Amino acid sequence: MLVVETEDLTKIYQKRYIALNALFMRVEKGTVYGLVGPNGAGKSTTFRLLLGLQRPTAGSVAVLGEAMTAERADLRRRIGFLPTNPSFPRHLTPIGYLEFVGRLLGMPPDRAKIQLAQLLQAVDLTSAASQRLESFSTGMLTRVGIAAALMNDPELLILDEPTSGLDPSGRKQIIELIRQIAGRDRTIIISTHILGDVERVCTDIGLISQGRLIYTGPMSEMRRLARQGTISVEIEGNLAAFEEQVPTLDQFSSLRWERMGNEFRITFLGTQPLADYIQRVVALIDRTGVELLHLDTGPDEIEEAFLGRLEEDRSRDILRVAAWAATQEISGHEATRRPPVFEEEKRRLLANQPLPPEHGTHADI
């Protein structure tokens, strides 16, 4: 079952700024979906449209199987929302605020009290329950926001930049909390521009850039794609000989590398399994007689790879056209299919090959 379904969702502000550009998004029930993109990519706008806080300029939004509008309070009752840097009535205490949320949700007072007590304990705010929200830190306010979003035990939980403005320990705490919330058939959508945050909790991921979803699919697939071909080796010995031979690791030289002292970071742009590339690097080490000190595929590479893809998206108009063309192809049919991953474009981009000429035709448009 699809919990979120957008079709050609477009939002243009004041006929000047395109915040969303024919967004085609599908989120299935029970998934933890990470919407990743840089600031201004359209994440918050997407959420506001999903909640009916804004009206689409064009296209449609369906949440929990029904069209969302500003007046669909019944539908919003089934959704929990945490905005970025949430604004709360600051004169209230967490208890007062959660009671207010309970009343807005039409919860019986007794049930609301039981629920808020449990939630304040879950978000570790029991000791601060008597303080006014105006004295809370960003992390504490985020936790209040999460508690408020969970008051109605929602089927869909939307968290907009839940780790924004938090220090590393606060970030870790919130991520751990989200991990605990996930499951029980609840669907969660998290937006962030910090990939590491979603990597730990998400089952599916969408990469949004300039109002378009440029990638969407299972997290495992993205992880595989992102890590594909990036190998870091720390070596000792005849480094010059090793460096000289690095370009020969791929017969089409479709790789890039950088050297930082003894460490070489080699990124293969092809689509072969990572094991093949590791084998080639190890063979080169053997051939050049250097001593291997350390080899890994680097846990941080995924974030770098994502940023790289965003950069590619920004700098290469051709990808934009490919995305547009692919979206045109799938719009209006195969509604239940996952959004396009643009396999061909992705493969060619990773292989540093030009896209087919028909895409160029669209570029002229």
Partner 1 sequence: MQAYIALLRYDVGQLARSWLVRLWVALLVVPALFVVVVAANEDEKASETLAAYIAAVLVPLSALVVAIVSSAAVSAESSVAADSILSRSVTRSEYIAAKVTSRLGMTVLVFAAVAIPFAYLIVRYSKDVDTSVGGVVAGLLMVGTGLVFLAALGIALSTLLRNALLAALIVLAAVISSGGALQFLGLPWMSSTAVLSDLAAIFRGDVENPAWHATRVITVFSILTALGVAASFFVFRRRDL
- Residue 86 contacts partner 1 per CB under 8 A: yes
**Degrees (nearest 5) of the Cα angle 155, 10, 225?**
70
> Measured from the CB atom, is 14 or 315 closer to partner 1?
14
Burial of 38 (0-12, 13-18, 19+ CB in 10 A): middle
Q: Which two tokens stand for residue 119?
A: 């939630």
Please tell me the distance from the alpha carbon of residue 231 to that of residue 281, in angstroms, as a whole number.
8
C-beta contacts of 235-238 below 8 A and 24+ residues apart: 235/262, 235/264, 235/285, 235/290, 235/291, 235/292, 235/293, 236/262, 236/290, 236/291, 236/293, 237/288, 237/289, 237/290, 237/291, 238/288, 238/289, 238/290
x/- letters, 87..106, toward partner 1 (CB under 8 A): xxx-x-----x--xx-xxxx
- Residue 208 contacts partner 1 per CB under 8 A: no
- Residue 58 contacts partner 1 per CB under 8 A: no
Q: Which residues from 247-266 bind partner 1, rule CB under 8 A?
A: none
CA-based end-to-end distance of the chain: 36
Please tell me the distance from the alpha carbon of residue 311 to that of residue 317, in angstroms, as a whole number.
11
Least separation in angstroms between residue 198's CB and partner 1 is 21
Exactly one of 24, 33, 81, 264 binds partner 1 (CB under 8 A); that residue is 81
Least separation in angstroms between residue 231's CB and partner 1 is 44
Q: Which range binds partner 1 by CB under 8 A, 67-75, 211-219, 224-232, 352-360? A: 67-75
- Residue 55 contacts partner 1 per CB under 8 A: yes
Least separation in angstroms between residue 168's CB and partner 1 is 25
- Residue 299 contacts partner 1 per CB under 8 A: no
> Measured from the CB atom, is 149 or 284 closer to partner 1?
149
Q: Which two tokens stand for residue 318?
A: 């051709």
Give the H or E element holding residue 261. Answer: none
The sheet with strand 255-260 has its strands ordered as 255-260, 263-268, 230-236, 291-296
> Measured from the CB atom, is 6 or 216 closer to partner 1?
6
Number of residues that bind partner 1 (CB under 8 A): 27
- Residue 76 contacts partner 1 per CB under 8 A: yes
Least separation in angstroms between residue 91's CB and partner 1 is 7
Residues 6+ apart with CB under 8 A from 235: 242, 262, 264, 285, 290, 291, 292, 293
> Measured from the CB atom, is 80 or 206 closer to partner 1?
80
**Degrees (nearest 5) of the Cα angle 251, 253, 257?**
130
Least separation in angstroms between residue 212's CB and partner 1 is 20
Q: Could you tell me the CA-to-CA distances from 80 to 152, 158, 217, 362 in Å, in that order?
A: 7, 6, 23, 40
CA 253 from centroid of its chain's CA atoms = 31
Q: Which residues from 99-138 bind partner 1, rule CB under 8 A?
A: 100-101, 103-106
Exactly one of 46, 142, 152, 230 binds partner 1 (CB under 8 A); that residue is 152
Least separation in angstroms between residue 303's CB and partner 1 is 28
> Measured from the CB atom, is 3 or 302 closer to partner 1?
3
Exactly one of 39, 60, 66, 70 binds partner 1 (CB under 8 A); that residue is 70
Exactly one of 1, 71, 260, 315 binds partner 1 (CB under 8 A); that residue is 71
Q: Which range binds partner 1 by CB under 8 A, 50-58, 189-197, 300-308, 353-361? A: 50-58
3 state DSSP class of 61? strand
- Residue 143 contacts partner 1 per CB under 8 A: no
Report which of 253, 143, 198, 160 is spatially closest to residue 31, judged by C-alpha positions.
198
Secondary-structure percent of the chain, ordered helix, strand, coil, rounded to 5: 40, 25, 35
Residues that bind partner 1 (CB under 8 A): 48, 51, 53-55, 70-71, 73-74, 76-77, 81, 83, 86-89, 91, 97, 100-101, 103-106, 148, 152
